[in-house]
Homo-oligomer: A and B are copies of this chain.
Amino acid sequence: MAGPCLFPVCMSRWEYVVSFSERLVEKVSQKKTPLCLGIDPRWESLPKSIRTQFGDATLDPSVIAKAYLAFSIRVIDLLANLVPVIKPQSAFFEQLGFAGFAALEEVIAHAKSRDLLVILDAKRGDIASTAEAYASAAFGLDDQTIGLNTDALTINPYLGEDSITPFIASATKRERGLFVLVRTSNAGAGTFQDLESNGKPLYQHVAALVDRLNQESAKNSKWGLVGAVVGATRPSEISPLRKMMPKSWFLIPGVGAQGGKPSDLAPAFNSKGMGAIINSSRGLTFPFHPDDPNWESKIIEAAHKTISELAEVAKPGS
């Protein structure tokens, strides 16, 4: 999308004068926790009361999308004062077609209206102008306030350095952030990530590239905009990866349902409790049986419990 602005609109809510990493430090300090609220809506897990409100068994996809939106907004409102950042999972919205995509836009807008940061978990990856288009989908088209308007996006490194640099260019221009998949949290992550070449596994080669690109973007700042996804499920790897990527924020999934323990995550943080965002999705959003009328208090309890577990290893802003 080259050329001049196609239509005149107010840009204010899309532009940032402060970098993504500075916004992250500020929000994490303010909430005093690195906990990230993962939003992966599943129809069968929604509270019965919300399903009933939207007609339960008589649904069409656009109605399911509205139910996802209503639930997501409610969870965001319940936890907005507790967490600094949310991470919606694009796939669960995309499977509802364009109505789901529209709901995702609204979830993101609502989170931003509650002064939360948003990391879109979409794991995009492609080359040249296609990578630019994915960046535009996440961060907004140049000169236009459309797209999902996320603060940061997860990306996949398999296509190589020249597939990552267009995302960095776009993120730099718009003061957004990236999290490159380095070490994923799934049991089978090692199929390729563990393959050793020149004495180190593939995921460490990816880490080395992330560090180089991040240091270039960070210049003299404490943190750069190129972060890393590092799963919580192999805790012994976190400390070496921290040393390899000293200026990268880590996005750490895999706590809770996937088996990762908060107590293992200390090496991800510096002495000020900064440097990592710990995501919990199912653990925070579905800690109840769908029939439980007290689902809202279960969500708040789950958040307090996770925050207190994380406080054992990181005390940001204290």
**Residue A146 lies at the interface, judged by CB distance under 8 Å to chain B:** yes
> Nearest B residue to A60 by beta-carbon distance?
B7
When distances are taken between beta carbons in the complex, the residues of chain B under 8 Å from A96 are 141, 146-147
When distances are taken between beta carbons in the complex, the residues of chain B under 8 Å from A159 are 181, 184, 186, 188-189
Known pairs A3-B44, A96-B146, A202-B202; A130 contacts B89 (CB<8 A): yes
When distances are taken between beta carbons in the complex, the residues of chain B under 8 Å from A44 are 1-3
What's the Cα separation between A123 and B186 when bound, in Å?
19
Which of the candidate stretches A171-179, A191-199, A218-226 sits at the interface with the other chain? A191-199
| Contact among B2, B59, B92, B131 for A7, CB-based, below 8 A | B59
Q: Is the CB of B133 within 8 A of A160?
A: no
**Residue A148 lies at the interface, judged by CB distance under 8 Å to chain B:** yes
When distances are taken between beta carbons in the complex, the residues of chain B under 8 Å from A150 are none
When distances are taken between beta carbons in the complex, the residues of chain B under 8 Å from A192 are 157-158, 160, 202, 205-206
When distances are taken between beta carbons in the complex, the residues of chain B under 8 Å from A198 are 195
Number of interface residues of A (CB under 8 A): 72
When distances are taken between beta carbons in the complex, the residues of chain B under 8 Å from A209 are 191
Q: Which residues of A116-159 have CB atoms within 8 Å of chain B's CB atoms?
A: 123-131, 133-134, 136-137, 141, 144, 146-148, 156-159
> Nearest B residue to A188 by beta-carbon distance?
B162
When distances are taken between beta carbons in the complex, the residues of chain B under 8 Å from A102 are 97-98
**Residue A259 lies at the interface, judged by CB distance under 8 Å to chain B:** no
- Assembly of this chain: how many copies? 2
When distances are taken between beta carbons in the complex, the residues of chain B under 8 Å from A3 are 44
**Residue A248 lies at the interface, judged by CB distance under 8 Å to chain B:** no
**Residue A40 lies at the interface, judged by CB distance under 8 Å to chain B:** yes
**Residue A21 lies at the interface, judged by CB distance under 8 Å to chain B:** no
Known pairs A1-B43, A95-B136; A58 contacts B158 (CB<8 A): no
Nearest Cβ on chain B to A280's Cβ, whole angstroms: 15
Known pairs A40-B130, A123-B125, A158-B181; A95 contacts B186 (CB<8 A): no
> Nearest B residue to A165 by beta-carbon distance?
B188
When distances are taken between beta carbons in the complex, the residues of chain B under 8 Å from A185 are 127
**Residue A293 lies at the interface, judged by CB distance under 8 Å to chain B:** no
The 6 closest A-B pairs by CB, nearest first: A162-B188, A160-B191, A91-B133, A98-B102, A94-B137, A195-B197
Pull 30 A–B residue pairs with CB atoms less than 8 Å apart, ordered by A: A1-B44, A2-B43, A3-B44, A6-B57, A6-B59, A7-B60, A40-B129, A42-B129, A61-B141, A91-B131, A91-B133, A94-B101, A94-B133, A94-B134, A95-B134, A95-B137, A96-B146, A97-B148, A98-B101, A123-B124, A123-B126, A125-B125, A158-B158, A158-B181, A159-B188, A160-B190, A162-B187, A191-B209, A195-B197, A196-B197
